[in-house]
């Protein structure tokens, strides 16, 4: 890849579910379009909650996105003119996403990744910790805890009205029917072997 640009950078937007991550990604890519930048947005194909070719925030704002099954599909789909690359739900990507992002930034592109930093267990999620370490800019957004009303930084998975067990599958696609935003105190994970608060 050679784009002729020289000011690439990585921005990572993280937080719990319902904290506004996708909304912030959409805001940034729309501003890039206003600034006459060529923008492409990618998302994991498994996230089809709002349609297969849209990134949509919970408040209804949206932007066209290309669904991909793996990180290796991103670079071949990039237009040479693209200077801004958005990647939503980055936690669902394979570990190769780190190398793809590094290459895009080295090629002079602005890369904006949005995703969960913690899984429903409250543990670091997939490639996100590495991307956070590599980023020039990190924004950690908060939601509102549905239990106590304080700032929420955790995502509580709910199964049949109760918190999911620690040994339940990590990836389950869903929205308000399956997840709640909670603070550290109100977040609970039954069957956790060791308490990690």
Cα angle vertex 174, ends 168, 178, to 5°?
65
Q: 144 - beta bridge partners? A: 151
Active site residue 89: yes
Catalytic residue among 89, 142, 150, 180: 89
180, 186, 183, 176: which is closest to 150 by C-alpha? 183
| Residues ≥6 apart with Cβ < 8 Å to 87 | 41, 42, 43, 74, 93, 97, 101, 111, 112, 113, 114
Measured distance CA(63)–CA(57) in Å, rounded? 9
Q: Which residues belong to the active site? A: 89
């Amino acid at each position: 890849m050679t784009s002729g640009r020289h000011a690439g950078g990585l921005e990572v937007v993280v937080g719990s579910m319902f904290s506004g991550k996708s909304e912030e990604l959409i805001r940034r890519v729309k501003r890039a379009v206003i600034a006459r930048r060529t923008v492409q947005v990618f998302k994991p194909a498994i996230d089809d909650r709002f349609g297969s070719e849209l990134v949509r925030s919970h408040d209804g704002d949206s932007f066209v996105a290309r669904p991909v099954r793996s990180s290796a599909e991103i670079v071949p789909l990039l237009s040479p003119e693209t200077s801004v690359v958005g990647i939503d739900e980055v936690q669902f990507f394979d570990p190769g996403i780190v190398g793809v992002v590094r290459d895009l930034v080295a090629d002079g592109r602005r890369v904006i990744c949005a995703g969960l930093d913690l899984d429903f267990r409250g543990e670091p999620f997939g490639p996100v910790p590495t991307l956070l370490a590599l980023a020039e800019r990190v924004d950690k957004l908060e939601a509102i805890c549905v239990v106590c009303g304080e700032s929420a930084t955790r995502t509580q998975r709910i199964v049949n009205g109760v918190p999911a067990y620690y040994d339940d599958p990590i990836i389950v696609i869903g929205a308000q029917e399956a997840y709640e935003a909670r603070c550290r105190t109100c977040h609970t994970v039954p069957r956790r072997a060791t308490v990690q608060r």
